[in-house]
Structure 1
């Protein structure tokens, strides 16, 4: 049996999962990093869907998530979540990052999806320290999966080997602790 949480190093836009998560900015209209890559790969349909969401509800604040179609991606949908900008840890960044992961998971479940792929939210231009962000991601997803069985596969998709190693180490450590 395959573990429900796995780490991959690669391009999140190429995955065939129900949902990929976009580390979006609050405008939802594309940007740099993974956000720009997802928008480019998905094509103009994704931008149009994001514009509609923005017209209906305005900007998406940190910690919140919205769902759209996936355009040209192999995924069925894209969940856009806004992580916090790192300001040293004193402005509720950890709680906002937990909320971004948790709200994405809840939104995927609410739409009947069973597989989801996450990038390392807030660790690019938003400056969140990668080790702390990885720990929040793994702990938040793990706690969620214990209580809620709907999601069968959660992938942490890392752009580089350093980040993939951080996530893999945390998952291995967590597996060892749960085996005790």
Structure 2
């Protein structure tokens, strides 16, 4: 495992696990140049607010129109659409859990894993995740970081075509929470 410490003026931390670079940045996921970005979606893929709303606002109505054709998507699963006017090629819509519905940790792990598998099935090389379910779904950021980062670390131990996985976090607090968890990740 290689850890690159942030340099002055640099908001990124990254490690390499197997052949995959896992990176944290603070920023706007709609500006990512990765092959795909992962949207925090609801089961009906109605992208009205939060990250989902921002993605449709920047990417265009075509994302919502494609989503309408493939919905519903069960909690813990993911589906993919084109990216409209975004800088990425695809949007992976991961349906994370709402706090209080039960078995939230397993559902978040499943949504993360489903997103990774979908990226591999489409031969994508890079993907950017947001902190799924931490907005209006109320999932705690510390548990989100633990579930998502350990799922990614376990997944990239095996054969994957993904070479770059980014966690694009919306604020300094989310970044710091993810950074603390990433520092503890030990490749198996």
- 1:31 counterpart = 2:42: no
Q: 1:11 maps to what in 2?
A: 28
Q: Any idea what the Cα deviations from partners look like across 1:28-85, whole Å, max 9, x if unmatched?
A: 121211011111111011112112223xxxx112101001100000101000011000
Distance in 1, matches of 2:187 and 2:124, equals: 26
Shift of 1:128: 0.5
Q: 1:60 maps to what in 2?
A: 73
Distance in 1, matches of 2:46 and 2:97, equals: 17
Shift of 1:178: 4.8
Runs of 4+ in structure 1 off by over 2 angstroms are none
Q: 1:72 maps to what in 2?
A: 85
2:139 to 109, 128, 133: 128
Q: Is the 8 A contact 2:157 2:187 kept in 1?
A: no
- Tell me, what secondary structure is at the counterpart of 2:176? helix
For normalisation by structure 2, the TM-score amounts to 0.87
> RMSD over aligned Cα, in angstroms?
1.6
Distance in 1, matches of 2:187 and 2:70, equals: 41
Q: 2:103 maps to what in 1?
A: 92
- Tell me, what secondary structure is at the counterpart of 1:16? coil
Distance in 1, matches of 2:35 and 2:64, equals: 19
**Aligned pairs (5 A) from 1:133-148:** 133-148=144-159
Higher strand share: 2
* Structure 2 residue runs without a partner (length 5+): 3-13
For normalisation by structure 1, the TM-score amounts to 0.90
Q: Is the 8 A contact 1:21 1:80 kept in 2?
A: yes
Residues paired across the two proteins, number:
171
* Structure 1 residue runs without a partner (length 5+): none
Q: 2:11 maps to what in 1?
A: none
- 1:159 counterpart = 2:170: yes
Q: 2:7 maps to what in 1?
A: none
